[in-house]
Each structure stands twice: as structure tokens, then as C-alpha cells.
Chains A and B, each alone.
Chain A
Amino acid sequence: MTPCPLGVSKLPLPSPQEKAITVTDLRRVYSSSKGVFRKTRNIVEAVRGISFDVGYGELFGLVGPNGAGKTTTIKMLTTLLTPTSGTARVLGYDIVADIMEIRRHIGIIFGGERGLYYRVSGRENLRYFADLYGVPFSRREKRINDLLQMVGLSDRADERVEGYSRGMKQRLHIAKGLVNDPPLIFMDEPTMGLDPEAARETRTMIKGVVKEGKTILLTTHYMFEADELCERIGVISGGRIVALDTPSALKRFVKDITVIEVEAFDVAEGDLAVLRQQSEVTAVNANLEGERQIIRVQTPRGSEFIPIITKLLSRAKIVDVRVKEPTLEDAYLKLVT
């Protein structure tokens, strides 16, 4: 896949101090009421005052567990949701006062099964959105062809979208999000639901787009993806930013921690709970991989802690114990739990 020959848009080149995105104490509260006679209000504070900046040409990642407020934040920045309070500027425009200006100059890639007209072809979808964004008519076809080539859909472009696989639809979403040649692109969970092959291709595409000088803000809950792609990461949890730094700086956050990875069968939940309660254990993460459980124990104690772990998990069948370098995932776990 060749990277698309994109240029910088017609906005004047910003000075180095200017930021692509500036968020100041952004807050969003959802309230819903249930019942007809005795109304009960249900108030959810999805985003509780977050602030951060993204510079031009940066690939910034917003990482966090489900429900942390990532999607809400990205919706506010893309003018699809009004904030309850706080301000933000995108490309210098205010997200409440200058909605149409922002929409002209950003690309939005939310992915998923929906959001495409499925009875027409991929190419026709792109043509329509090109028209809606005001892509110059004389440049439209070439732009679409370039985009289709970039996302690898050239040979299937004239088939109806209803026949596309999940991965193909995602690629079409990416092409659609770039049709207006935006200097700033928002991506919400771009590889969610894709098989590993398609996910890898998507990440390669994203890297290609950044090389052309675009700014990207993406959200994800895959730490390895953030680690691979992002220059800086904001970790968001419970509606707040709990950490904001480069991946290496965040990893240093856990540099004094050793990770002991235990591969076992039949680990009881009760034993894990006891393990978590140990004073020298920072975090315990258990994942099911097939029938095996992979338990990652974070501790400052190092490999000398292994016998204690095996004793606490003696009821299980331990297959292997490894000592690992802490990853961004571990830093994330430490921050989020």
C-alpha cells in the first residue's frame, strides 16, 4: 500500500507554540430521568474536567478502559456532542462557537458496521461524502482513486458495501474520513473488531498518514497499539486524565516494578483475591487465554517473590513462571486500578 500523497490543507501554517487541540477543563454530564410520575434522575459524569494539548503533526493517543470517557471526549472535540462546561479549541476554532468550521477541516473515523450507505458501492459512498465536504469537483475522482488505493479497496470499490467484510468496511471508513484532506483526524478505536491481519494493516496506514504531516488523535483500549503508534498518551479513567506522557516515560513509571507472569490452570478467584491483598503486590491481572490463565503480578520485590506467589496459588496447576519486563500495559494497569 503506497501512502497517499496528501498535502497540508489551506490553513495558514501555525507557529510552533500553537496547538492543534487545546482542551481546558472539559466536562460532560449525562442526565436521564426514569418514570412518569415519580421521576428519578440518573446523572452520569462521563467526563469530569480534563485538560490536555495536542501539537501539530503529533499522533496522540487517548487510552482507557471501556466507559472511561474516551468516546465522549472525542465526540465533544468533533462537535457531535456539546460539553456541559469547559472549553476546547480544535485547529484554533472553538468547539461550541465554530462548529461548521471545525467540521470542514477535520476527518472523523469512527468505524463499525454502520455509518455507510450499504446499498451503493464504496466508490459511490466516497463520492457523496466528497460532495458533502465540497471537495473540488475536478479533483474528486483522482482523490477517491488515491484513497481507495491507499486503503487497498481499489479492486472492490464498485461493489455494494453490503457485501463488504468487516475489515473492508473499516478501510472504507478510513478512506471516507480522509476524503476532505483534513489536517487533523480523529479516530475512535480504529482497530476494534478487526482480525489481527486487518488490524496490523490499519496501523500501518495510520503511520503512513502521520508521515504526511497530519495530526491524529486516536482512542483505543489496546495498550500495545498505543505503545506502537503514539508519540504521547493520555490515560483516561473514570472521566479524568490520570497520566499524560510519552510511552517511555509512562513505562518508567513502572520501572521499579517486576512483573511475574504465571501460566496456570484452575486458579481460584479467592486465591487471586488473597494475592491482591498482599502488601507487596501492586497489581494483579488475570487473563484467560484458551483454557490457560495468564496471571501478571506486579511487585517491587523481584524474582524472590516467586515462591510466595506459588505458595498462594498452590491449589492451582502451575505450568510456567516467567519474569518479565514491565510494559505500557502494566503501567496502564497500575494507573487505572
Chain B
Amino acid sequence: MALRLQERYGFRIFISSAAFAFKALFSWLSPQMWLTQVFMLPLFEMAFFVYLAKFVEPSTANIAYIAVGNAMQTASFSSIFAVANLTSEEKWQGTLIPLIATPANRFPLFLGRATFQILNGIATIAVGFIYATYIYGVDMSNANFLALSLVIVITSLAMTGFGLMLGSVGLFMRTAMIIANVFLFVGNLLCGVNFPITLLPFWLQPVSYVIPMTYGTSAARAAVLGSNILQLTPILMQEVVTGLASIVVGYLLFIGFEKLAVRRGTLEEY
């Protein structure tokens, strides 16, 4: 009755981590909180900037610019905040050590846990677009919905990758929450959500180019105006590249942290 352990089971780790994280690591997101996050937060955040736009420059084009940008930005709560907080959740519960003690392949472990938030991000953006169309009057008559859907999916994926990288950075810090909070809001400023990034001071602009959302907002607006997938390919490729780069950096930090902590003997501090 000996137990023969599986040899290659990376996919299983991925699925298992995805399902498990939903219950174990994200259940601080109670149903009420989740509903608030998906339906209420986008509504009011969009309202704030749309009304601000109406005050300053009430042209239809400007309103549409703001509404679409903010609809995309609504994903940041899931993909940035929730994902970056994964590591602080693990630290707080002391489960980093048992995880490291397992022989599990680190890559599917690293990625799998964020799966739910990718889906959550897509749902939130979709709700945001419903608001944009029916409440803030964005004209969707020319929109290429296939292209827009692709933009939404890619943005949610890429931003989740960015969130994972932030989470890995958070491994080395006392509180990852600070990073999570900063990037949750800073997207409003840096990602072409409310205005083109060319309006930012020159020393801030490079940061925008590292965040996938910057490309996502651009692509979303183009899709709403009617661009098809082929036309959007260049910008979507850029977004995919930044997303992948984030994942790679995040993963390297993750395994780097493990090696360093084991060598230094600092695992317990976390």
C-alpha cells in the first residue's frame, strides 16, 4: 500500500492553488465586500472623474475618454490590490514555511493563486463598461466588441502579472500593503486613465510605460472607436510584453526570496 508520489504534476499544482486561494487567501473578500468592490466602487470612482471632466471640459470626446479609461482602471482592485496582498496573507498565517518545505514546482504555485483575481478583474471591467455605456453615455455604436473583449482579457491578465510582481516585492518588506495601496491608486495618475500620459512630468512618464494598464486604456479607446484586432496588435503586444516581464520578474523575486531566506535563516521573520 505504498504511496507513489507523482513525478510531474505542475498543472495540478496550478489548478489546486487557484481553487484553494479563492477560499483560503481571498475569503476576507466577503460576499458583501465583493459586491461592493465589483458594483459600487467602479460606479463612484467613475462618477468622480466623469463629473470632474464635465466641470472642466464637458466635450463628449473627453467624457468618453475618461469613462473608458476608468472602466479599465476598475480592475486594479482585483489585479493589484488583492493579488499583491497574497504574500502578506501568507506571511500573516505563517504558511510560507510549509509551502517552501514542499517539493512543489514554484512556477504554477506562483501563478495559480492569482487565477480568481484575473476572472474578477474581467468581471469588474465589464461592469465598468456597462456603467460607461448606460450611465455616462459613451457611444458604443462603432465599437468592435471582439477587440474590446480581447483588450479586457489581456489587460486583466497583464495587470494580474503586475500585481504578482508587486506581491513578490512585498515579500522582502515588512508590509506589502503599502505597495498594494500605492499602486491601487497611482494607476489613476500614471496609466492614461484620465488624461494622456504626455501631460505628466517627464520624469514620471517612464513609470507609465512599465505598467500594462497604460497600453490597456489606449487599446480600449481604440476598440470603442472601432479598431479591429489586427490594428490593435502592436499595442496589445506591448501590453503582453510588459505583463510577461512582470511575471518573470515577480517569479524570479519569489524564488530569490526563498533562496535568500533559507541561506540567511530569516524565514521565521516572515
In the complex, residue of chain A having the shortest beta-carbon distance to the beta carbon of B16: A131
Query: A222 within 8 Å of B by Cβ?
Result: no
Assess whether B262 is in contact with A132, with CB atoms less than 8 Å apart.
Answer: no
Interface residue tally on B, bucketed by range: 20 to 34
Q: A81-B262, A82-B262, A124-B23 are in contact. Are A181 and B2 (CB under 8 A)?
A: yes
Query: A41 within 8 Å of B by Cβ?
Result: no
Q: Which of B2, B5, B28, B100 contacts A134 (CB 8 A)?
A: B5
Assess whether A176 is in contact with B98, with CB atoms less than 8 Å apart.
Answer: yes
Query: B102 within 8 Å of A by Cβ?
Result: yes
Assess whether B104 is in contact with A132, with CB atoms less than 8 Å apart.
Answer: yes
**B198: chain A residues within 8 A (beta carbon):** none
In the complex, residue of chain B having the shortest beta-carbon distance to the beta carbon of A114: B94
Q: Bound complex: CA of A135 vs CA of B9, how far in Å?
A: 10
Identify the stretch in A115-123, A191-199, A250-258, A264-272 within 8 Å (CB) of chain B at 4 or more residues. A115-123
Assess whether A119 is in contact with B7, with CB atoms less than 8 Å apart.
Answer: no
Assess whether B263 is in contact with A117, with CB atoms less than 8 Å apart.
Answer: no
Assess whether B5 is in contact with A180, with CB atoms less than 8 Å apart.
Answer: yes
**B9: chain A residues within 8 A (beta carbon):** 131, 134
**A124: chain B residues within 8 A (beta carbon):** 20, 23-24
Assess whether B13 is in contact with A80, with CB atoms less than 8 Å apart.
Answer: no
In the complex, residue of chain A having the shortest beta-carbon distance to the beta carbon of B14: A131
Query: B175 within 8 Å of A by Cβ?
Result: no
**A112: chain B residues within 8 A (beta carbon):** 94
Residues facing A in B73-125 (CB within 8 A) are 93-95, 97-104, 109
Least Cβ distance of B106 to chain A in Å? 10
Assess whether B24 is in contact with A120, with CB atoms less than 8 Å apart.
Answer: yes
Identify the stretch in A3-11, A48-56, A240-248, A319-327 within 8 Å (CB) of chain B at 4 or more residues. A3-11
Q: A115-B94, A129-B98 are in contact. Are A80 and B1 (CB under 8 A)?
A: no
Residues facing B in A134-192 (CB within 8 A) are 134-137, 139, 143, 176, 180-181
A73-89 near B? 1/0 per residue, CB < 8 Å? 00100111110000000
**A110: chain B residues within 8 A (beta carbon):** 97
**B3: chain A residues within 8 A (beta carbon):** 7, 9-10, 135-136, 139, 143, 180-181
In the complex, residue of chain A having the shortest beta-carbon distance to the beta carbon of B26: A119
Least Cβ distance of B108 to chain A in Å? 10
Assess whether A133 is in contact with B98, with CB atoms less than 8 Å apart.
Answer: no
Q: Bound complex: CA of A149 vs CA of B241, how far in Å?
A: 50
Query: A200 within 8 Å of B by Cβ?
Result: no
Q: Which of B1, B23, B104 contacts A5 (CB 8 A)?
A: B1
Q: Which of B12, B13, B24 contacts A117 (CB 8 A)?
A: B24
Least Cβ distance of B95 to chain A in Å? 6
Assess whether A119 is in contact with B103, with CB atoms less than 8 Å apart.
Answer: no
Least Cβ distance of B261 to chain A in Å? 9
Least Cβ distance of A130 to chain B in Å? 9
Residues facing A in B1-41 (CB within 8 A) are 1-7, 9, 12-13, 16-17, 20, 23-25, 27-28
* Besides the known contacts A129-B98, A134-B103, 19 further A-B residue pairs in the complex with CB atoms under 8 A apart: A7-B1, A28-B265, A80-B97, A80-B101, A81-B262, A100-B103, A101-B103, A114-B93, A114-B94, A116-B94, A117-B20, A117-B93, A118-B93, A119-B23, A119-B27, A124-B23, A132-B109, A176-B98, A180-B5
Contact surface of A with B, Cβ cutoff 8 Å = 5-10, 28, 30, 72, 75, 78-82, 100-101, 103-104, 108, 110, 112-120, 124, 127-129, 131-137, 139, 143, 176, 180-181
Contact surface of B with A, Cβ cutoff 8 Å = 1-7, 9, 12-13, 16-17, 20, 23-25, 27-28, 93-95, 97-104, 109, 262-263, 265, 267
15 A/B residue pairs, CB under 8 Å, sorted by A: A10-B3, A72-B265, A78-B101, A79-B101, A82-B263, A114-B94, A115-B93, A117-B25, A119-B28, A124-B20, A128-B16, A129-B102, A131-B20, A133-B103, A134-B9
